[in-house]
Structure 1
Amino acid sequence: MKKNIWGLFALLLCFSLHAQESYNLVPKPAKLTPIQGKFTFQKNTVITISSKDDSFQAVANMLKEQLRVSTGLLLDVKSGAATSKGVVFVQNANLADEAYHLNVSAKKIEIQAKSGKGAFYALQTLFQLMPAQIYSQSASNETLTALACQIEDAPRYSYRGMMLDVGRYYFPVSFIKRFLDLMAVYKLNTFHWHLTEDQGWRIEIKKYPLLTSISSVRKETMVGHYRDQKFDNKPYGGFYTQEEIKEVIAYAAKKFITIIPEIEMPGHSQAVLAAYPELGCNPDKIYQVATKWGISEDVLCPREETFTFMENVLTEVMALFPGQYIHIGGDECPKKQWKESRFCQDLIKKLGLKDEHELQSYFIRRIDKFVTSKGKKLLGWDEILEGGLSPNAMVMSWRGTKGGIEAAKQNHDVVMSPNSYFYLDYYQADPKTQPLAIGGNLPLSKSYSFEPDLPELTTEEAKHIVGIQANVWTEYISTPAYAEYMTFPRALALAEISWSPKQTKDYDDFLRRVKGILPGMDALKINYCPVGLK
């Protein structure tokens, strides 16, 4: 009897170890039950949609197209009752919005979801259960299989974001789409598009054409480190037309990614003043689009003309972006010009404000009221807490977690984005071995170590932490290839923390799985940093 028990135990242990070695999934599902065997895609495999929800059709077609591209298989997609074989999409109204069940056996793959959104995430998991060939763009005519298992999965946080700064360096639409593609593979669902900066304005505003003819181009760019104070003496510019913006938004929607635009104010606005100097505190000053990195003292002046300008800009922006949130920056606004401005000092007295920090709060509150009147919500960096937080604002906490904690305690929603964990312009390995970066030290292990469940918050307050985000600032990142290199693999840490249950967090296991998906990353041609992975 004992021999039989120990034999069974050894068999189960062996199977368990084998299963752990095989299921290399990032982010890690909430619950995975290994099953022996594999599902094999064949010429007669049929994809069936057992739902009247049209959103499943698009996801089924994605599976069909990916199989066609990677293997040459031309599978049929049909609607009808669930079958006992093939691939079946089933609507399950009891599941949460982004949740899914994925059951893979030797005969059948069944995907259950409330809508196409959950089915889309199930599809990303299914692809990771298959050989890396699934990501290939050239049909190989090889047989594709998927590891058998049962998965019940749902995200930990509703906001799983990546930010790309295009203000310092413009990135073409083709790369923005690729960035969205790679986000989707790892179930990230929010793209924060940092569109304006001191060094460049990147979005067409039809009412103010000088923003693209003047504000989008700087006369030269810093080269090397800031301390070197060297420049290339070459004009640099670029912007996205409104038609290109619409194209990117539509592309993102197909991958269930929401895009949040950022229009900086009242700081980080020197490029605006180069075209419209009357919006500054020194209207007679000759401004130019910034050529240096860092923080500019040239900021918007809180005149009525400025509010009219920003409201007109935001009206066009909000008409383009269907998402709920509009990011208005609000960070790193020097107060020197406000202190020296007779208008600003008179306005402080007139409004009964205590200081320039409260004047910035007044600025943000004015914009918040306008954004709210248009049915949108305002999002800003944690500096918008200074002088008093606007009533409807959501806070993005970047200077550590303090701002996020403070906002959550005031019952405001928060996205955690602490620079020491998620600023992906920081070095990720020994600077001697890496391309030029802004500085800092942020290896993959440190990004993964961040925990959004903060002891300073009560259970109710913690509900206001809606997610986390990593940021790719581009002062030292001038090309798509380098942006990708700085993003990966650290974006995988963000993906797992924001999706997977807290209790499953294990860096050694995560690193093992990351190494396991490297063939897939290679097939996707991701230009990732290999330090510590190979």
Structure 2
Amino acid sequence: MRKLFRLAGILTVTGALAACSGEKTTANYHTIPIPQEIKITSEGEFVLNSGTKIIYPDGNEKMRRNAMFLAEYLKKATGTDYDIATGTDGKGNILLQLGHPAENPEAYRLNVTQEGVTISGTSEAGVFYGVQTLRKSIPVVHKSTPVLAAVEINDYPRFGYRGVHFDISRHFFTVEEAKSYIDMMTLHNMNRLHWHLTDDQGWRMEIKKHPLLTQIGSTRKETVIGRNSGEYDGKPYGGFYTQEDIKEVVAYAAERYITVIPEIDLPGHMQAALAAYPHLGCTGGPYEVWTQWGVSDNVLCAGNDSVLTFIDDILTEVMGLFPSEYIHIGGDECPKTRWEECPKCQARIKELGIKGNDRHSKEEYLQSYVINHAEKFLNDHGRQIIGWDEILEGGLAPNATVMSWRGEGGGIEAARQNHDVIMTPNTYLYFDYYQTKDIENEPLGIGGYIPLERVYGYDPMPSILTPEQQKHIVGVQANHWSEYIPTFSHLQYMALPRWSALAEIQWSEPEKKNYEDFLSRLLQMMKLYDAEGYNYATHVFDVKADFIPNPATGTVDAVTKTIDRAPIHYTLDGSVPTTESPVADSIVAIRENCTFNALAIRPTGKSRLLTEKIIFSKSTSKPITANQPVNKQYEFNGITTLTDGLKGNGNYKTGRWIGFYRNDMDVTIDLLEPTEISNLTFTTCVEKGDWIFDARSVTVEVSEDGENYTEIVSESSPAMKETDRNGLYEHAYSFNPVKTRFVRVIAASEKSIPEWHGGKGHPGFLFVDEITID
């Protein structure tokens, strides 16, 4: 794995700050997440000196812990030990108290006067979040004395469920690493840890009634290298938590007002369990803990009564360890292949009188039967289930909460059915996806592209819902699937600083959000990352560039910027810029083929090199019209992506591609004047596992007036086979020279995925990039 990139010299501030010993520092209350209300109240200030104490109510253990946490935070920031004591007199001190008159149970008021600091909470949790704001307001400077301007901060979270997901099945993380993950959560005002404990690749939780789950199911004999390359490392991989370990982590989280929600994914993602107890599968095995990534066809046998007993046994021990109201039972990605062939499953379908229909197959309704069994068992014990949005298939369990991951569609449907929803769409909040387009200099990842700005721009409240339906959107969560995240340092790198953007989505009201302001506050947050020793990504300091086709001038306009307005030097000949190279202080209008290189050059060092190859053809920067809609989920910069001179790589989520679903790519390009052309090329990106297929047919037509068209290319292709490769497919067409102004290109999407595929019968996606005409 490549070394995780860090921008040398820019953010490693601890040493420089230590040199400022004894200085006074000024608190900055514009933290992340931004508080709902910050009111400067007077010209006064309070100096936080070594004699300041932290006062909490006598007899309140939670408040005592809050005081201890604050003392620890302040010592790390200033190097000073602050005493804690019981009482109610805050004069000259920091007073922690209950009694803040707000409806939100996590609300607080932070009040600073010349007399002292008071943090009042609706609950102990509210006080804790006030402590976090004070902590984040104070600069990290060794042997310093913070000065706090007089202020009144009134704050509360937008969502009651503010979560992150922790997958320890694919790669295992220790108890201490789990605690560190929880500490990262507290810094970001998060309160729900979704702990993914079991999957095909490893069972990580001790179950005393079924000891083979960890004796056998926790260890795979080896692990695939790369993205299911067919090659393996030959090294056994394992690890699991004892029940005492789990109790320790749950208690550690609870002290920080974080609820741990366990996930036991069923009835799919169960091959590790089947390796331990093969009689629970449809074929009887033998099975082994899965050594590759993806989703195994081997699932729990829904027609086997012992499976239902097994589920009850597991959930009983889970409930004994986790006091959370919610228990996550997965319910996603359960292939029905085994059920379709299993006599027991088919007998169960017949026994239950299940019939398939246009909406769902009988096997999908059978999955609903399993999910409903788990829900009833948990409801009978006072618990509620959460499931991924696939639990909508076959009918939603009566009291289920839906975690919407395949975009927002499942969440919208569930809210309309009056079910609570947690938004966690893979299009915005899957933090195992790349956070830069420069993937050559990143550790290997699953793919995708979710930069910091895209995270920050997400609003989890769909406007399409009515106000009553919107009340069912109860929370927001980001997910970290660990197939390609083998170490905790790498996990931190994928989480930070994207968690800062997530925190603001979860906590702050939309009208308070502003990306440019967020970036200025992020610099302060990164100093805390340094103080805590967190490994975080620094892409935010790289050059950002938008390449905008300009039909009026025929140019591709490069618009560049940096977070701190550092000078950006660029070249167009492929050479690496130096301080002697031109500065991109406005739009760089590009008129011909080039390799655009750009660097931010600071006194402390250089950013990573931004490189874009721009290729001109007769269609580049010409007006283009979509005759059928682009898929909203993968619209990115819209239809002009096809004529912007930039070509996409094998990652279809970088914004270099646009997607079509249930529609064809049907576009008209206006060459602006009669132009002789003789060839046309475009590229598709195929990723069959993600339901993305090649074009089934291509038609090219030309017109002089934009109304009457003549066909010059017509080609059809057979449906893709399972053995066809993923990747880029170039569609190149040569024809007799023709003079024309308008060119219409139609590429038909796959309307029915072939039988060999798990999505058979459904429409496929079509991803297309750059149409070149010469």
For normalisation by structure 2, the TM-score amounts to: 0.64
The aligned runs of 1:106-505 (5 Å cut-off) are 106-133=114-141, 140-226=142-228, 228-283=229-284, 285-302=285-302, 303-354=304-355, 355-429=362-436, 430-505=438-513
Q: CA deviation at 1:50?
A: 5.0
The code of the aligned residue for 1:212 comes to T
Counterparts of 1:327 and 1:458, CA distance in 2: 27
Counterparts of 2:541 and 2:318, CA distance in 1: 41
Q: CA deviation at 1:492?
A: 1.2
Aligned length: 507
Counterparts of 2:145 and 2:100, CA distance in 1: 34
- Determine helix, strand or coil for the equivalent of 1:231: coil
Counterparts of 2:244 and 2:525, CA distance in 1: 36
Counterparts of 1:478 and 1:116, CA distance in 2: 36
Counterparts of 2:509 and 2:129, CA distance in 1: 16
Q: CA deviation at 1:52?
A: 6.1
Q: CA deviation at 1:143?
A: 2.4
The code of the aligned residue for 1:170 comes to F
Counterparts of 2:406 and 2:491, CA distance in 1: 22
Q: 1:56 aligns to what?
A: 63
Counterparts of 2:60 and 2:105, CA distance in 1: 14
Counterparts of 1:374 and 1:533, CA distance in 2: 51
- Whether the 8 Å CA contact 1:191–1:258 is kept in 2: the answer is yes
Counterparts of 2:235 and 2:57, CA distance in 1: 58
Q: CA deviation at 1:53?
A: 4.4
The code of the aligned residue for 1:169 comes to H
Counterparts of 1:240 and 1:105, CA distance in 2: 48
- Determine helix, strand or coil for the equivalent of 1:523: helix
Q: 1:31 aligns to what?
A: 37
- Whether the 8 Å CA contact 2:27–2:146 is kept in 1: the answer is no
Q: CA deviation at 1:37?
A: 5.4
Counterparts of 1:40 and 1:533, CA distance in 2: 34
Q: Please, which runs of 5 or more residues in structure 2 have no aligned partner?
A: 1-25, 356-361, 543-774
Counterparts of 1:86 and 1:116, CA distance in 2: 19
> Which of 79, 91, 95 is residue 86 of structure 2 equivalent to?
79
- Determine helix, strand or coil for the equivalent of 1:472: coil
- Determine helix, strand or coil for the equivalent of 1:262: strand
- Whether the 8 Å CA contact 2:27–2:139 is kept in 1: the answer is no
Q: CA deviation at 1:173?
A: 0.8
Q: CA deviation at 1:56?
A: 1.9
Q: 2:518 aligns to what?
A: 510
- Determine helix, strand or coil for the equivalent of 1:420: coil
- Determine helix, strand or coil for the equivalent of 1:151: strand
Counterparts of 1:532 and 1:343, CA distance in 2: 55
Moved more, 61-70 or 473-482: 61-70
Counterparts of 1:146 and 1:362, CA distance in 2: 59
Q: Which has the larger radius of gyration?
A: 2
Larger RCO (CA under 8 A, 6+ residues apart): 1
Q: CA deviation at 1:526?
A: 1.5
Moved more, 316-325 or 515-524: 515-524
The code of the aligned residue for 2:531 comes to A
Counterparts of 1:314 and 1:338, CA distance in 2: 23
The code of the aligned residue for 2:287 comes to Y
The code of the aligned residue for 1:277 comes to P
- Whether the 8 Å CA contact 1:186–1:492 is kept in 2: the answer is yes
- Whether the 8 Å CA contact 1:89–1:110 is kept in 2: the answer is yes
Residue 71 to residue 22, structure 1, CA distance change in 2 (3 Å): closer
Counterparts of 1:204 and 1:533, CA distance in 2: 44
Residue 72 to residue 520, structure 1, CA distance change in 2 (3 Å): closer
Counterparts of 1:131 and 1:74, CA distance in 2: 16
- Determine helix, strand or coil for the equivalent of 1:359: helix
- Whether the 8 Å CA contact 1:448–1:507 is kept in 2: the answer is yes
Over the aligned positions, Cα root-mean-square deviation in angstroms equals 1.7
| Percentage of matched positions with identical amino acids | 48
The code of the aligned residue for 1:173 comes to V
- Whether the 8 Å CA contact 2:27–2:148 is kept in 1: the answer is no
Q: 2:710 aligns to what?
A: none
The code of the aligned residue for 2:222 comes to E
Please state if 1:45 is matched with 2:46: no
- Whether the 8 Å CA contact 2:29–2:133 is kept in 1: the answer is no
Counterparts of 2:441 and 2:114, CA distance in 1: 47
Q: 1:98 aligns to what?
A: 106
Counterparts of 1:287 and 1:446, CA distance in 2: 41
The code of the aligned residue for 1:167 comes to S
Counterparts of 2:188 and 2:76, CA distance in 1: 20
CA deviations 1:286-323 (Å, max 9, x no partner) are: 10000010110000001110010111011001100011
Q: 2:761 aligns to what?
A: none
For normalisation by structure 1, the TM-score amounts to: 0.92
CA deviations 1:109-134 (Å, max 9, x no partner) are: 1101122110100000001110124x
Q: Please, which runs of 5 or more residues in structure 1 have no aligned partner?
A: 1-19, 134-139
Q: Which has the higher helix share?
A: 1
- Determine helix, strand or coil for the equivalent of 2:145: coil
CA deviations 1:455-493 (Å, max 9, x no partner) are: 221101100100100000011000000011001111111
Q: CA deviation at 1:342?
A: 1.2
Moved more, 32-41 or 244-253: 32-41
Counterparts of 2:540 and 2:62, CA distance in 1: 40
Q: CA deviation at 1:233?
A: 0.6
The aligned runs of 1:10-29 (5 Å cut-off) are 22-29=28-35
Q: CA deviation at 1:506?
A: 1.3
Counterparts of 1:22 and 1:121, CA distance in 2: 16
Residue 173 to residue 222, structure 1, CA distance change in 2 (3 Å): same
Counterparts of 2:227 and 2:347, CA distance in 1: 40
Q: CA deviation at 1:58?
A: 1.7
- Whether the 8 Å CA contact 2:29–2:134 is kept in 1: the answer is no
Counterparts of 2:74 and 2:428, CA distance in 1: 37
Counterparts of 2:469 and 2:60, CA distance in 1: 36
Q: CA deviation at 1:83?
A: 3.4
Counterparts of 2:332 and 2:50, CA distance in 1: 56
The code of the aligned residue for 1:376 comes to R
- Determine helix, strand or coil for the equivalent of 2:483: coil
Q: 1:16 aligns to what?
A: none
